[in-house]
Amino acid sequence: MNFRILPLLFFIPSYFIAQENQNTPQNLDEIIISAQRIEIPFSKESRSIMIITAEDIKLSPAKSLAKLLQEVAGLDIRQRGTNGMQADLYIRGGGFDQTLLLIDGIKMDDAQTGHHILNAALPLDIIERIEIIKGPAARVYGQNAFTGAVNIITKKKSPDHLSIALSGGSYEQLGAAVTASSNFENSNHLMHYSKNVSEGYRYNTDYDTQNYFLKSAFNTQNRPIEVLATFTDRKFGANGFYATPSATDQYEETQTSLVGVTTRYKKNNLTITPQVYWRRNQDLYLYNRQNPTGYRNLHISNKVGAQINGSYLSNIGITGFGVNFEKVFLSSNNLGNHSRTITTLFLEQRFKLLNDRIDLTPGVAMSYYSDFKFHAFPGIDAGIDITQNLRAYANIGYTYRIPTYTDLFYSDPTTLGNDQLKPEEAIAEEFGIKFKKSAINLTLSLFNRDSKNLIDFIKTTEDEAFKATNIRSLNTKGFETSVDYRFSMLYFDQKINFGYTFIEDKIKALDLPYSRYAINSLKHQFIANFRSQLIKNFSQTILYKYAVRNAGDDYGVMDISLNYQKKNFDISLSANNIFNAEYTETNLVPMPKGSLLFGVTYKFD
C-alpha cells in the first residue's frame, strides 16, 4: 500500500460514524456574495463559488492566508517561504498574475508584478469570510480575473472588546497581536496590530512582519460611511526565491497599504455603492543581503481609483451596472517611471423564467487602457433549479490579462522585458451541478479554457538573455468536485469535507530550445478535512493534502490543530507537515518539515 494513502484512514471511520448520526443543516445558503453589482444569495449563484467562513478560519490549522487557501480544491498556492512571506495564487491552472485578489471589493492587483498579489494578505483574526470565485470573471471584475477571484470580507461591527494573543513555536517563531472593537452612538471601530518573527527553517529564511488594520463606520444611524485602512510590512530572507537555488543570500522587503472609503445609497428599487481607494506597494530586493550596494531593485507602485456600482430591480429582473476609473503610477530603478489610466464600464442583466426556476445573466465589461487601448469582454451565466435540492448551471466568457511592467520593461543580465507585448486572452466555459439535502452539500463542475498570447520568457541560444514574448497557446480542461457532510456525534456538531481537482494542460508545440515558464499545474489535487468536537470546549481539525504536478512531482502533507476554549481563554496548538514530507511548491525551494505553533488568546469583555 502506498503510504501516502494511509492518512485517509483517519477520515474513513469518521465517515461511517456519520452515517449513524442525525444530520444538521448548513447555514451558507442565504449569504449574499459581496463583490458583485447584482447581489445574489449563495444558493442561487450560477458560478463556481466557495465560501470560507469565520468558523472555518478559527478551526483551521492555518495561521496565514496562504496556508488557509491551500485547503480549497482548485486553488494552487505556491509558497517560497513560511507564513506566506512570498506566495503566488493560482486558480485552475492559471498563472500567478491571472487571479484577482480583492479586499472588501477593492481590487488589489499590482501593475509591477503579479508576485505581490498576496502581499496584502490580512491577518486571519479580522476576516469575516472569504469568497472564492472560480472561472472567467473579467466581465464582473475586469482585468486580472483571468481564471477567477478571491474576495476577502473583513469583519464589521462587533461587541466592545479587547483581545491579546501570543504565540510561539518551531524555528523560533514568536507572535503577538492586539485586537480591539468599540461602539459609540453613531460610529463603530475595529483595530488590529500584530507582529510575527522567526529565525527561519533553514539558512536565510528569517522573517519579520507587522500588520496594522483599522475599519471604522461613521454615521451608522443614517447612511453609514465605512473607512478601511491596512498596512503590511514584511522583511524576509529569500534563499533561492527568484534566481537559481544557489542564490542563497537574496533578501526582500515589501510594504503594502490600502485606504478605502465606501458608502451605500438605497432608494426603492435602486442601490448605488460609491467607493474610492488608494493602494500602494513598495518592493526592495537585494541579490545579496550582505552587500546592499550590489544588485538592488526598488519599485514603488501607486494606484488611486474610484468606482460606482449599482443595481436596479424592475419587471424584467435585476440590472447591474458600474464604472471604475483607476490611475496607476510606477517608479522603479529597473523598470523606469510609468503611468497608466484605466476606465472600465460594466453592464449585466439577470432574467428569471418559468416561475424563477431558470435564470440568465448576460453581461459585458468594456475597458480602455491608455497604453493598450480598448477591450470588450462579454459573458453569460445560466442556471436552473431542477428540483428543490438540485441545481445545474453553466457559464461562458472572454477574459484577459494586461502585461505587468515587469513583463514589459524588466532588464538584468539574463532577462529582458518586451514593450511590444499584447494582452493575454482566453475564452472559458464551465458546466456544473450543486446538490444540497439536509446536511449534505455536493458540487461537481467541468471546465475548459482556451488561452492565446500567453507570455513566456524565451531564447533560441544558450548565450542569449530570456526575452518576454507572446508565444503560448494553451488549452486547459478538467473537473473538480467537493462533498461537505455535517453530522452530530456525542451531542456535538462535526464536519467532514472532501475535494478533488483534475487538470489537463495541452500546449501548442513550440520549436524553442529554451523556455523559462514551464506549465506545472496541479494535475491531481485531493484535500480531506475533518473538523470535529468530541469533548466540551475542545475541538480538533485534521487536514490532509495530496498533490501531483504535471512535471510528475507528488507529495502528501498532513496538518492537525487542537483548540481549547474556556470562558475568555482560547488556546490552540497547530502541527504542520506531521509526517515530515519533503516537497517544493515552486522554484525548487524546499518547504519546511514538521513544525509546531502554540497560541493563547485572552479576551477582555
* Residue 22 clears pLDDT 70, i.e. is over it: no
* Residue 584 clears pLDDT 70, i.e. is over it: yes
How high is the pLDDT of residue 23?
38
Grid cell digits, residue 69: 487557501
| DSSP bridge pairs for 263 | 225
Beta-carbon contacts of 421 under 8 Å, excluding residues fewer than 6 positions away, are: 403, 407, 408, 455, 468, 469, 470
What is the tens place of the pLDDT at every residue in 226-244? 999 999 999 999 999 887 7
How high is the pLDDT of residue 96?
84
Q: Which amino acid is at 259?
A: V
β strands within 370-423, DSSP E:
373-385, 390-401, 411-412, 415-416
Q: b/e string for 203-240 if b means 16 or more Cβ within 10 A?
A: ebbbbebebebbbbbbebeeebbbebbbbbbbbbbbbb
* Residue 517 clears pLDDT 70, i.e. is over it: no
How high is the pLDDT of residue 510?
63
* Residue 1 clears pLDDT 50, i.e. is over it: no
Look at the block and give the residue holding cell 475542545: 538
Q: Where does the pLDDT of residue 268 fall: very low under 50, low under 70, confident under 90, or very high at 90 and above?
A: very high
The helix or strand, by DSSP H or E, that contains position 525, with its residue range, turns out to be strand 522-535
* Residue 136 clears pLDDT 90, i.e. is over it: no
Q: What share of the chain is helix, strand, coil (3-state, %, to 5)?
A: 10, 60, 30
Grid cell digits, residue 307: 468606482
Q: b/e string for 55-93 if b means 16 or more Cβ within 10 A?
A: ebbbbbbbbbbbbbbbbbbbbbbbbbbbbbbbbbbbbbb
The helix or strand, by DSSP H or E, that contains position 138, with its residue range, turns out to be helix 138-141
Lowest-confidence pick of 133-137, 565-569, 599-603: 133-137
Q: How far is CA 61 from CA 236, 532, 587, in A?
A: 23, 13, 25
What is the tens place of the pLDDT at every residue in 462-492? 888 889 999 878 899 999 999 999 988 878 8
Q: How far is CA 196 from CA 85, 208, 456, 575, in A?
A: 11, 6, 36, 18
Grid cell digits, residue 109: 492587483
How high is the pLDDT of residue 86?
85
Spatial contact of 528 and 547, defined as CB atoms under 8 Å apart: no
* Residue 26 clears pLDDT 50, i.e. is over it: no
Beta-carbon contacts of 338 under 8 Å, excluding residues fewer than 6 positions away, are: 329, 330, 405, 409
Percent of the chain residues past pLDDT 90, beyond the cut: 65
Lowest-confidence pick of 88-92, 127-131, 342-346, 506-510: 506-510
Spatial contact of 239 and 589, defined as CB atoms under 8 Å apart: yes
Grid cell digits, residue 134: 472560480
Q: What's CA 526's distance to the chain center, in Å?
A: 18
How high is the pLDDT of residue 375?
86
What is the tens place of the pLDDT at every residue in 377-392? 899 999 999 999 999 9
How high is the pLDDT of residue 15?
41
* Residue 264 clears pLDDT 60, i.e. is over it: yes
Look at the block and give the residue holding cell 483571468: 146
Average pLDDT for 119-128: 89
* Residue 21 clears pLDDT 80, i.e. is over it: no
Spatial contact of 265 and 272, defined as CB atoms under 8 Å apart: yes
Q: Where does the pLDDT of residue 451 fall: very low under 50, low under 70, confident under 90, or very high at 90 and above?
A: very high
Tell me which DSSP letter residue 409 carries. H
Q: Which amino acid is at 157?
A: K
Angle at 65 between CA 63 and CA 71, to 5 degrees: 85
Closest CA to 395 of 51, 135, 52: 135
Q: What's CA 377's distance to the chain center, in Å?
A: 23
* Residue 219 clears pLDDT 70, i.e. is over it: yes
* Residue 25 clears pLDDT 60, i.e. is over it: no
* Residue 425 clears pLDDT 50, i.e. is over it: yes
How high is the pLDDT of residue 94?
87
Q: Which amino acid is at 388?
A: Q
What is the tens place of the pLDDT at every residue in 84-120? 888 899 999 888 888 889 999 999 999 998 888 888 8
How high is the pLDDT of residue 9?
43
What integer best gives the mean pLDDT of the chain? 89
* Residue 256 clears pLDDT 90, i.e. is over it: yes
Report DSSP letters for 204-271, one per residue: T--EEEEEEEEEEEESTTSS-EEEEEEEEEEEEE-TTSSS-TT-TT-EEEEEEEEEEEEE-EEETTEE
Spatial contact of 130 and 54, defined as CB atoms under 8 Å apart: no
* Residue 121 clears pLDDT 60, i.e. is over it: yes
* Residue 331 clears pLDDT 90, i.e. is over it: yes
* Residue 11 clears pLDDT 70, i.e. is over it: no
Q: Where does the pLDDT of residue 587 fall: very low under 50, low under 70, confident under 90, or very high at 90 and above?
A: confident
Q: Which amino acid is at 241?
A: F
